[in-house]
Amino acid sequence: MSEATTAESRGSGPAAGVVWDLSELYQSADDPKIDADLDAAERQAGSLAERYRGRIGELSAPELGTLIDEIETLEENASRAGNFAGLLFAADTGVARHGALMQHVQERGSAIQNALLFFQLEWVGLEPAAAQRLMDDPALAGRRHFLESMRRYRPHVLSEPVERVLEETANTGGRAFGRLFDEILASMRFTLDHAGNSENLSEEEVLSRLYVPERSMRRAASDSLTAGLRENARVLGFIFNTLVQDKATNDRLRSYADPIQERNLANEIDGETVQALLSACERGYPVVQRYYRLKGRLLGIEQLEDYDRYAPVLEGDGERDFGQAKRIVLDAYGDFAPQMAEIAGQFFERNWIDAELRPGKRGGAFSASTLPSVHPYVFLNYTGNLRDVMTVAHELGHGVHQFLARKQGLFGQDTPLTTAETASVFGEMLVFRRLMREESDPKTRLGLLCGKLEDAFATVFRQVVMTRFEEQLHHARRSEGELPVERVNEIWLAANRAMFQDSVNLRDDYGWWWLYIPHFVHSPFYCYAYAFGELLVLALLKRYDEQGEAFVPRYLDLLAAGGSDSPPALLKKLDIDITDPSFWDGGLAILEEMVGEAETLADSLNS
């Protein structure tokens, strides 16, 4: 087994041995093709700059299209190296060569981007009428959205010398601190003391203990996580403070009026729509409280504590090995569309998944789209509970989406975050619906329903809480200066307590838990996209229930469109208007109905 598959399988857990094969990108971290590809891309970028600098406004539509094609080709070569380095690092952050390679590729990538910077600056600098004439030309029909998307940034781009400096210094600034965060979290071990036994666990392993039936174990896991985070709070808190201030500096330089504005622009969604989403979800907080009061009754716990939030309602849920997860997900996907199951099956069969637990591996889960000429790769930390089965469904949803969208090319395959979560959340719902169809026992059905509600609440309401936390964090950093971790703890607890009220007691220890969440580090204000995706999927499922099989090809067409048009334009083809402020209320009403169904099932079991 080559280094591209993380040297050798040395992992543990129910997915031990499930490691990806990155050899379709490169053979190893020392593969000479990496620098050969980067050299070729840099030469081509320099050649394009020599031929086209200062001439963008003079080009005809066909000439502009040819230039974009050339840029896309060279960027795909450079992206091959970037994707490989990032995946190798995520798989094992403890290997110094992996971190060094990622830094090297980032530095080389900055040189390539700076050589091409003239194109973006000259294009966005064109007068609106001239740019519109070019975009209206049929020769650029396939590039129209790409060109329109760049011009959204017209008020926020800076001079070429400044842009060059910002790109290069990011490698020793924000990107470097992000890498440090990953390395610290991956190397942390959490001491869990319970019933006279002591275990030394990774982040993923200790988090998985929050889902066990035994309450004393959940509390011990919670205390262990808190202790580990507190022990590393000084350096993690410094990373957060630095990155938040780094963003404030960039926002000031680029004339972003609000910390969230840059993310909204990237998501192709206006601030009013985002705030309508957040406010609608906040109005739904009583539904969360109503559910957790029900859960307390079901568990026989008068006052739920923070470590009780994920306690299983379904007794004997048990561990599922990775083969069982594969069967559950592929069967559910196949019920909806055989093509989806066929695509998802390739991830298992062709080693496009890395799922085992092992030292040095980054926490969390993701699907990397990589290149149109290759395929996506899925990254998991599979511990075997039902929630992890749903994570497999979630990430394979991303994978199927990205696989279908490859035909749009490098510049059109990836969607904004708002619609990037569509297929992933849809995949989870397909698995949930299949499990519910197969189960006739009312008690088991109640357990499944409660599990799905908690997943949905984590995807909708918890993400809104995290977005509000980020808003308050960034504003506080800008007005108060560097923030002590205790001050950030206060902001975190206030945002979370607003959702739970008295239905769950959040102890002060829970105030430290913002320290391990990677989205705050790598993708500020990412989180509201999850809420967007969940509520959008509920609307899509309603269309499916109404239209039956006729809906399936329309849905697959949506996935295959990737980022070739704006989310409102693509969703309009499915009769969905996300700009309507009342749109979100429909999905929230479905969640409230599901809570009512859980209450009815619980009452029937007690009667």
Rounded to an integer, what distance in angstroms lies between the CA atom of residue 332 and that of residue 340? 10
Cβ pair 547, 575 in contact under 8 A:
no
- The values of phi and psi at residue 449, to 5°, are -65, -40
> Two tokens at 345?
């099956």
Q: Please check the confidence at residue 407 and state whether its pLDDT lies above 80.
A: yes
Q: What local confidence, expressed as pLDDT, does residue 507 receive?
A: 97
Task: Write the single-letter amino acid at 563.
Answer: G
Residues 6+ apart with CB under 8 A from 35: 108
Bridge partners, residue 305, by sequence: 505
Q: What local confidence, expressed as pLDDT, does residue 6 receive?
A: 46
Q: Please check the confidence at residue 29 and state whether its pLDDT lies above 50.
A: yes
Bridge partners, residue 199, by sequence: 192
Q: Please check the confidence at residue 199 and state whether its pLDDT lies above 70.
A: yes
Q: What local confidence, expressed as pLDDT, does residue 2 receive?
A: 38
Query: Can you tell me which residue has the tokens 């969607």?
Result: 415
Rounded to an integer, what distance in angstroms lies between the CA atom of residue 518 and that of residue 362? 10
Q: Three-state SS across 230-285?
A: HHCHHHHHHHHHHHHHHHHHHHHHCCCCCCCHHHHHHCCCCHHHHHHHHHHHHHCH
Q: Which helix (H) or strand (E) holds 36?
A: helix 33-52
> Two tokens at 81?
């190296």
Neighbours of 411 (CB within 10 A): 23
Q: What local confidence, expressed as pLDDT, does residue 8 receive?
A: 52
Nearest to 310 by CA among 379, 363, 381, 386: 386
- The CA-atom distances, in angstroms, between 345 and each of 243, 340, 571 are 39, 8, 27
Pick the range with the lowest mean pLDDT from 40-49, 211-220, 383-392, 452-461. Answer: 383-392
Bridge partners, residue 366, by sequence: 379
Three-state secondary-structure class, residue 193: strand
The 10 Å CB-count burial string (b at 16+, else e) for 564-583 is bbbbbebbeebebebeeeeb
Rounded to an integer, what distance in angstroms lies between the CA atom of residue 208 and that of residue 220? 12
HSE-up (13 A, CA, CB side) for residue 322: 20
> Two tokens at 426?
């849809």
Q: What local confidence, expressed as pLDDT, does residue 386 receive?
A: 83
pLDDT of 380-392, one tens digit each?
999 988 889 999 9
Q: Three-state SS across 362-425?
A: CCCCEEECCCCCCCCEEECCCCCCHHHHHHHHHHHHHHHHHHHHHHHCCCCCCCCHHHHCHHHH
User: What is the mean predicted confidence (pLDDT) over 202-213?
Assistant: 93
User: What is the mean predicted confidence (pLDDT) over 108-129?
Assistant: 96
Q: Please check the confidence at residue 7 and state whether its pLDDT lies above 50.
A: no
Rounded to an integer, what distance in angstroms lies between the CA atom of residue 321 and that of residue 517? 26
- The CA-atom distances, in angstroms, between 416 and each of 224, 335, 357 are 36, 28, 30
> Two tokens at 304?
């739920």
Nearest to 387 by CA among 445, 310, 332: 310
Mean pLDDT of the chain: 94
CA 69 to chain centre: 29
pLDDT of 323-345, one tens digit each?
999 999 999 999 999 999 999 99
Cβ pair 346, 21 in contact under 8 A:
no
Query: Can you tell me which residue has the tokens 């000084």?
Result: 234
- The CA-atom distances, in angstroms, between 263 and each of 109, 239, 251, 533, 583 are 22, 20, 11, 16, 21
Q: What local confidence, expressed as pLDDT, does residue 318 receive?
A: 63
Neighbours of 523 (CB within 10 A): 14
Q: What local confidence, expressed as pLDDT, does residue 316 receive?
A: 53
Q: What pTM does this model have?
A: 0.89
| Structural Rg of the chain based on CA atoms | 24
Neighbours of 479 (CB within 10 A): 7
Q: Please check the confidence at residue 499 and state whether its pLDDT lies above 50.
A: yes
- The CA-atom distances, in angstroms, between 186 and each of 91, 176, 211, 451 are 10, 15, 21, 28
Q: Which domains does the chain have, with CATH numbers?
A: 22-172 (1.20.140.70), 233-314+460-522 (1.10.1370.20), 322-459+530-606 (1.10.1370.30)
Residues 6+ apart with CB under 8 A from 69: none
**For the chain, what is the largest distance between any 2 Cα atoms, rounded to a whole number of angstroms?**
80
Pick the range with the lowest mean pLDDT from 98-107, 284-293, 534-543. Answer: 534-543
pLDDT of 577-597, one tens digit each?
888 878 899 899 999 999 999
Q: Please check the confidence at residue 5 and state whether its pLDDT lies above 50.
A: no
Q: Please check the confidence at residue 9 and state whether its pLDDT lies above 60.
A: no
Strand 190-194 and strand 197-201: pairing? Answer: antiparallel
Nearest to 357 by CA among 189, 177, 180: 189
Rounded to an integer, what distance in angstroms lies between the CA atom of residue 239 and that of residue 247? 12
Cβ pair 262, 256 in contact under 8 A:
yes
Cβ pair 433, 547 in contact under 8 A:
no
